């Protein structure tokens, strides 16, 4: 049996205030092309369908259109809610929708029954466990001490009574200890949301959502497929993909990926303003349409730097500076020996602490004349 594993679509997300609808619609179309090429039996979507628990109408319309395209291909679709989703909203009308072969995880109620599929090798049980916190699980297990996320997952899985003789697949949305995170995920203080990978021993494959970088967790049986798009510049060098999973006889697991190429890449470049705006620097690249994070190394800020750079780099998302001033970790404290220094000397001290470099002669002359004019008005 073949599965396409997806997660963390985050439909409706804005990145650095840029709406991503066009990019998301494009990448969902690319996913459909992969599905048509791979011809899976089912698609597993492991949570964070939307970026907000109350998604905008455009996001709902986009996901609805995607589900319609999937249902027309006569395959099964399994969808769970992630920590960004509202499980109540996502599971609305789920029992009616099941007639189209699309299954949504209900709000967690202490009991999870598998959906049973069959192929030439026998039965495959699909378990859907949405994102849950210990408090969500604790109320259904009065006889167990549930303090951690691992405790919660162990309790929820124990109730499933998984038959280890059959092939079993779990779709869930949690942070498994040791997974490599990026900046675009929500992180709990102190790693309190960690789940130990050992809780998944009963499953032949665990389709995980929550972490945005594709990776296995100690075993290829437990895998994050990652986001289909890059949602932060910490992912700029990542390769996005779709995970394809094949289960044959019990104990046989094959995994490969299909690369996803976005409509707009995310890139980071660094250099002086004069270098970066030279036509020879950008003319043979896609930088003009890529989502860009530019770091300027000029010592002086460029007036209206963002506006000027966007005339070349139309999708400039972020502008930073890397120079003596920004590298400074100096703490500005009260000035010393105030009575012994002139106003110009005091300003020079302040400027050097603020910018980690002394004033230039031109700056010193300007401030000196400014101080003189102010003093003349006072007199």
Q: What's the CATH code of the domain at 54? A: 3.60.21.10
369 and 254 in a common domain? no
297 and 165 in a common domain? no
Structure token digits, residue 110: 């202490």
What is the domain range of residue 316? 266-326
For β-strands 42-46 and 76-80, DSSP reports them as parallel
218 and 235 in a common domain? yes
Structure token digits, residue 48: 């964070």
Instruction: Please state the separation of Cα 344 from the chain's center in Å.
Output: 49
16 and 43 in a common domain? yes
Q: Contact at 8 Å (CB) between 313 and 331?
A: no
Count helices and strands (H / E) in the chain: 12, 19
229 and 176 in a common domain? yes
271 and 253 in a common domain? no
Of 259, 275, 303, the last residue of a domain is 259
Of 203, 235, 259, the last residue of a domain is 259
Chain length of the chain: 379
Which stretches of the chain score pLDDT less than 70?
Answer: 181-192, 328-340, 356, 375-379
- Whole-angstrom Cα Rg for the chain: 27
> Measured between alpha carbons, how far is 265 from 27 in angstroms, rounded to an integer?
12
255 and 270 in a common domain? no
- In the prediction, which pLDDT does 125 show? 97
- In the prediction, which pLDDT does 286 show? 94
367 and 255 in a common domain? no
DSSP assignment letter at 234: G
> What global pTM score does this model have?
0.82
Q: Contact at 8 Å (CB) between 212 and 228?
A: no
Look-up of token digits 């809610």 = 81
Of 259, 282, 303, the last residue of a domain is 259
362 and 271 in a common domain? no
- In the prediction, which pLDDT does 190 show? 40
Of 90, 18, 103, 6, the C-alpha closest to 50 is 90
Q: How many domains does the chain have?
A: 3
Cα–Cα distances (Å) from 70 to 6, 10, 160, 173, in that order, read 13, 18, 28, 22
Q: How many CB atoms lie within 10 A of CB 45?
A: 27
295 and 220 in a common domain? no
249 and 131 in a common domain? yes
β strands within 210-363, DSSP E = 215-217, 219-224, 241-247, 253-259, 266-271, 291-296, 316-321
341 and 322 in a common domain? no
């Amino acid at each position: 049996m073949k599965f396409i594993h997806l997660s963390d679509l985050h439909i409706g997300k804005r990145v650095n205030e840029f709406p991503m609808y066009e990019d998301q619609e494009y990448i969902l179309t690319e996913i459909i092309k992969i599905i048509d090429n791979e011809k899976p039996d089912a698609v597993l979507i492991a949570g964070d369908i939307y970026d907000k628990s109350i998604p905008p109408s455009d996001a709902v319309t986009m996901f609805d259109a995607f589900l319609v395209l999937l249902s027309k291909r006569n395959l099964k679709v399994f969808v769970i809610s992630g920590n960004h989703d509202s499980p109540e909203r996502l599971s609305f009308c789920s029992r009616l929708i099941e007639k189209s072969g699309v299954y949504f995880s209900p709000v967690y109620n202490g009991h999870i029954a598998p959906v049973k599929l069959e192929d030439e090798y026998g039965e495959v049980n699909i378990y859907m466990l949405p994102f849950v916190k210990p408090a969500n699980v604790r109320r259904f297990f009065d006889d167990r001490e549930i303090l951690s996320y691992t405790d919660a997952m162990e309790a929820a899985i124990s109730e499933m009574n998984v038959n280890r003789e059959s092939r079993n697949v779990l779709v869930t949305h949690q942070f498994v200890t040791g997974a490599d995170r990026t900046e675009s995920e929500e992180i709990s203080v102190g790693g309190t949301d960690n789940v130990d990978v050992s809780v998944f021993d009963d499953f032949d494959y665990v389709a995980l959502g929550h972490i945005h970088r594709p990776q296995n967790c100690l075993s290829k049986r437990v895998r994050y497929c990652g986001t289909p798009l890059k949602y932060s510049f910490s992912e700029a060098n990542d390769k996005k993909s779709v995970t394809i999973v094949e289960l044959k006889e019990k104990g046989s697991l094959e995994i490969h990926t299909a690369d996803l190429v976005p409509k707009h890449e995310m890139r980071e470049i660094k250099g002086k303003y004069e270098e970066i705006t030279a036509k020879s620097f950008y003319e043979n690249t896609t930088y003009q349409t890529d989502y860009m994070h530019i770091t300027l190394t000029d010592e002086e800020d460029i007036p209206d730097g963002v506006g000027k750079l966007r005339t070349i780099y139309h999708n400039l998302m972020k502008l930073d500076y890397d120079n003596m001033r920004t590298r400074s970790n100096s703490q500005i404290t009260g000035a010393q020996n105030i009575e012994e220094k002139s106003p110009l000397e005091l300003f020079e001290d302040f400027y050097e602490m603020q910018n980690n470099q002394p004033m230039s002669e031109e700056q010193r002359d300007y401030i000196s004349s400014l101080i003189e004019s102010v003093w003349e008005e006072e007199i």
